[in-house]
């Protein structure tokens, strides 16, 4: 009897399951890191059946990637300030806030955990990174359409994101506003 | 009866225990990552008593840092080519070879694992990084003594090591010789 009901109220039960599962995963990641729990534990905490999780996400790896992506997209949308410089400065500041916040460098920890799992983990990692890349590339494409000369997405990764990630991961050096702005200015110069 | 014997043959039994323990840790890290085993498992594989490990290293964190440092120092000694540019190009190529080799980005994975442990882990991480920094700083100091104008060690971290680490961790972009040389040339320009 579930299916017809769900079809009549799109976003009803389905959205509640998604929200409960996302919340359970977020809590478990906070408590145990990205590789310290099973689908069964997520299901128990969310109050849903294991099969509901497998039907919707296929495997644990895809679920972890989906949850992390949803949190990042909600909390750090790509900026659209009208200029390349404005977009990159805002983007860099958002990334810095995100990776020094309560979740820490979630993107990087997730990708490392997925890489250590198996083939499904690597596929989930690559899909996840492709989605983040696509968002960044859209921002750079808007600059090109305005007649600006944007850097490659890989240059943004190498010279803006990578230094911030490594400083946070190694616990070396602070991400001050001057430091972050300096990374972007250096890339654009 | 052990102690007087050890005192008479420094490096004998003591060196054998160290080698056996290092070998056991290296194998276990390869099989399970940095946080997948205990001191008891290391001791059993090395054929030594748990107490021998605690007496020498104090805790698992210090032992992990010691093993990683010993491997890196043996396999990637700091270059001394006579010029800053030569040293940095050689150093960057060594780091690239190391992080794409069989151990992968061992420094980074170790520091991440130690950060996730506890206060002892953070102390071991900071001691470990201080030692690696000291080695890099010596190389830069030699350049200054020759009258060259070396960058700060943190700039080397930000613009040479960080991009390579992040590319390897995310599985994005290749570390070609041209790419690696470009990172160093950009830093020195």
Q: Does residue B173 sit in the same domain as residue B88? A: yes
Q: Does residue B43 sit in the same domain as residue B82? A: no
Look at chain B and report how many structural domains it folds into. 2
Mutate to test the interface with B, among A130, A163, A187, A189 (most CBs of B within 10 A): A163
Res. B143 pLDDT band, cuts 50 70 90:
very high
Query: To the nearest whole angstrom, how far is the Cα of A164 from the nearest Cα of chain B?
Result: 8
Please name the member of A111, A116, A125 whose beta carbon is closest to the beta carbon of B33: A116
pLDDT per 10-residue tile (average), chain A, 189 residues: 48 87 90 85 96 93 87 81 97 91 76 79 85 91 97 95 91 92 95
Burial of B12 (0-12, 13-18, 19+ CB in 10 A): exposed
**Which chain B residue is nearest to residue A111, measuring alpha carbons?**
B170
Burial of A179 (0-12, 13-18, 19+ CB in 10 A): middle
Touching B: A residues 124-163, CB under 8 Å:
125-126, 129, 154, 157-159, 161-163
Q: Does residue B82 sit in the same domain as residue B175? A: yes
Q: How much is the average pLDDT of B144-164?
A: 95
Q: Does residue B48 sit in the same domain as residue B75? A: no
Predicted local confidence at residue B2, as pLDDT: 46
Report which of residues B157 and B131 the model is more confident about: B157
Res. B145 pLDDT band, cuts 50 70 90:
very high
* A108 CB within 8 Å of a chain B CB: yes
Q: Does residue A89 sit in the same domain as residue A135? A: yes
B169–A111 CB contact, under 8 Å = yes
Q: How much is the average pLDDT of B39-59?
A: 95
Res. B1 pLDDT band, cuts 50 70 90:
very low
Query: To the nearest whole angstrom, how far is the Cα of A158 from the nearest Cα of chain B?
Result: 4
Domain region containing A45:
2-58
The residue among B58, B81, B100 that closes a domain is: B58
Which tokens sit at A50?
A: 């294991």
B169–A115 CB contact, under 8 Å = yes
Go through chain A and tell me how many residues it has. 189
Give residue-wise pLDDT tens across range B71-82.
877 777 889 999
User: Inter-axis angle of helices B60-75 and B119-145, to 10 degrees?
Assistant: 30
Q: Does residue A53 sit in the same domain as residue A7? A: yes
Query: To the nearest whole angstrom, how far is the Cα of A9 from the nearest Cα of chain B?
Result: 39
Predicted local confidence at residue A129, as pLDDT: 85
A169–B109 CB contact, under 8 Å = no
Q: How much is the average pLDDT of B127-146?
A: 92
Query: To the nearest whole angstrom, how far is the Cα of B116 from the nearest Cα of chain A?
Result: 8
Classified as helix, coil or strand, A68 is: helix
* A30 CB within 8 Å of a chain B CB: no
* A166 CB within 8 Å of a chain B CB: yes
B166–A169 CB contact, under 8 Å = no
Q: Please count the residue pairs, one from chain A and one from chain B, whose beta carbons lie less than 8 angstroms apart.
A: 83
Choose among A77, A74, A87, A89: nearest CA to A145.
Answer: A87
Return left, alpha or beta for A173; rule: phi > 0 is left, psi -120 to 50 is alpha, else beta.
left
Lookup result for tokens 């009549």: A8
Query: To the nearest whole angstrom, how far is the Cα of A111 from the nearest Cα of chain B?
Result: 6
User: In this structure, are residues B135 and B157 in contact, taking their beta carbons and an 8 Å threshold?
Assistant: no
The residue among A32, A58, A84 that closes a domain is: A58
Q: Which residues in chain A touch residue B111, judged by CB atoms under 8 angstroms apart?
A: 169-171
Q: Does residue A71 sit in the same domain as residue A54? A: no
Q: Which residues in chain B touch residue A183, judged by CB atoms under 8 angstroms apart?
A: 158
Choose among B138, B140, B161, B139: nearest CA to B92.
Answer: B161
- Which CATH number goes with the domain that contains B97? 1.10.357.10
> What b-and-e string marks burial along B82-110, b requiring 16 or more CB atoms within 10 Å of the CB?
eebeebbbbbbbbbbebbeeebbbbbbbb
Q: Does residue B32 sit in the same domain as residue B93? A: no
Answer whether residue B144 shows pLDDT above 90. Answer: yes
The residue among B37, B58, B79 that closes a domain is: B58
Lookup result for tokens 């080799």: B101
Q: How much is the average pLDDT of B39-48?
A: 96
Choose among A167, A185, A187, A164: nearest CA to A76.
Answer: A164
User: In this structure, are residues A24 and A45 in contact, taking their beta carbons and an 8 Å threshold?
Assistant: yes
Mutate to test the interface with A, among B106, B170, B172, B175 (most CBs of A within 10 A): B170
Q: How much is the average pLDDT of B54-63?
A: 91
A154–B172 CB contact, under 8 Å = yes
Q: Does residue A44 sit in the same domain as residue A75? A: no
Which tokens sit at A149?
A: 């000369």
Predicted local confidence at residue A32, as pLDDT: 81
State the Rg of chain A over Cα.
Answer: 19
Mutate to test the interface with A, among B104, B113, B158, B187 (most CBs of A within 10 A): B158
B172–A161 CB contact, under 8 Å = no
Please name the member of A33, A115, A165 whose beta carbon is closest to the beta carbon of B171: A115
Q: Does residue A78 sit in the same domain as residue A24? A: no
């Amino acid at each position: 009897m579930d299916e017809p009901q769900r079809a009549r109220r799109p976003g009803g039960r389905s959205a509640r399951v998604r929200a409960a599962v996302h919340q359970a995963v977020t809590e478990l990641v906070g408590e145990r890191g990205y590789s310290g729990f099973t689908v069964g534990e997520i299901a128990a905490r969310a109050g849903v059946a294991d099969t509901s999780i497998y039907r919707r996400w296929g495997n644990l790896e895809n679920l972890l990637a989906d949850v992390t992506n949803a949190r990042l997209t909600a909390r750090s949308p790509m900026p659209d300030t009208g200029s390349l410089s404005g977009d990159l400065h805002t983007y860099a500041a958002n990334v810095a806030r995100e990776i020094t916040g309560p979740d820490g460098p979630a993107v990087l920890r997730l990708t490392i955990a997925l890489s250590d799992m198996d083939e499904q983990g690597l596929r989930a990692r690559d899909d996840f990174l492709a989605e983040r890349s696509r968002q960044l590339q859209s921002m750079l494409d808007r600059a090109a359409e305005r007649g600006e000369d944007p850097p490659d997405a890989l240059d943004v990764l190498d010279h803006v994101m990578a230094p911030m990630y490594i400083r946070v991961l190694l616990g070396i050096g602070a991400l001050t506003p001057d430091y972050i702005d300096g990374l972007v200015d250096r890339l654009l110069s």
